[in-house]
A = this chain, B = another copy of it.
Amino acid sequence: MTKPKRDYPVENIRRLLEPGPIVLVSSAWKGETNIMTMGWHTVLEFTPSLVGCVIASSNHSFGMIRNSGECVINIPTADMVDTVVKIGNSDGDEIDKFGTFNLTPAKASKVKAPLVRECFANLECKIHDTRMVNKYNFFIFKVVKAHVTPHRPLPQTLHYHGQGIFTTDGRKMNKAAGFTKWRDTATF
A-side residues, CB < 8 A to B, are 12, 14-15, 18-21, 39-45, 50, 52-54, 78, 81-82, 85-86, 88-91, 129, 131-132, 135-136, 138, 140, 154, 156, 159-182, 184, 186-187
User: B186 to A162, Cβ gap below 8 A?
Assistant: yes
User: B165 to A173, Cβ gap below 8 A?
Assistant: yes
| Alpha-carbon separation in the docked complex, A186 to B162 (Å) | 8
Copies of this protein in the assembly total 2
* Minimal beta-carbon separation of A155 from chain B (angstroms): 12
* Minimal beta-carbon separation of A163 from chain B (angstroms): 6
User: A169 to B170, Cβ gap below 8 A?
Assistant: yes
Of the candidates B39, B43, B181, which one forms a contact with A54 in the assembled complex, judged by CB atoms under 8 Å apart? Answer: B43
User: B168 to A186, Cβ gap below 8 A?
Assistant: no
Q: A40-B42, A159-B169 are in contact. Are A175 and B85 (CB under 8 A)?
A: yes
Of the candidates B41, B161, B163, B181, which one forms a contact with A19 in the assembled complex, judged by CB atoms under 8 Å apart? Answer: B161
| Alpha-carbon separation in the docked complex, A173 to B88 (Å) | 16
User: A186 to B169, Cβ gap below 8 A?
Assistant: no
7 contacting pairs across A/B (C-beta < 8 A): A40-B44, A44-B136, A82-B178, A88-B181, A89-B180, A165-B173, A168-B173
Give every chain B residue within 8 A of A50 (Cβ-Cβ): 136
